[in-house]
Each structure stands twice: as C-alpha cells, then as structure tokens.
Amino acid sequence: MIHVIRDSQKSFFICTAVTFLICNLSHAQESSSDKMEFFERKIRPVLVEHCYECHNSADTAESDLAVDFRNGLLNGGVSGASVV
C-alpha cells in the first residue's frame, strides 16, 4: 500500500510540475512558434513518459483527463481544470 501512495505522490508531483510549466508557457511573451517549440521539447516528453498511458483520448482518459491535446489539458478532468 505504501508503494501505491508513493506512486500516487510521484504522479501528483509530475502533474503539478507540468501544469506549472504550461502556465508559465501561457504567460510568456514569446512568439507562438517559440512556445510550440518549448512545449514539444520540454513538456510533451514528460507527458508522454508519465501521463499519456492513462490519460489519452485514443484509448482511455482516466478521470476524464486527456493530456494528448490542448483542450484536453485546458478542460481538465473529473476533479476540475488541470491548467488554470
């Protein structure tokens, strides 16, 4: 049971960090191509490695959260918005 809690805490930390990065990205004064490049290099690999298996729009969106498209992140899931 402790192992599950640690995995849950790790997932929460990763999702929080990704959300923080996305929020900073949305407020940056960079061009949209710079933002897209940053997202593709820094954010998407983290989402793919840690989130996509359970939170995708193709097969399953656990808790109704899909992280594989912009509106999925912006709309959030069952517990509310994932990006504010």
Identify the sign of the CA torsion 74, 69, 51, 78.
Answer: positive
pLDDT exceeds cutoff 50 at 1: no
Q: How many CB atoms lie within 10 A of CB 47?
A: 19
Q: Cα 2–46–74 angle (5° rounding)? A: 100
d(CA 60, CA 27): 30
- Regarding pTM above 0.85, the answer is no
pLDDT tens sequence across 8-42: 677 776 777 777 767 666 555 567 788 888 888 99
Q: What is the pLDDT of residue 41?
A: 92
What residue ranges do the domains of the chain occupy? 2-75
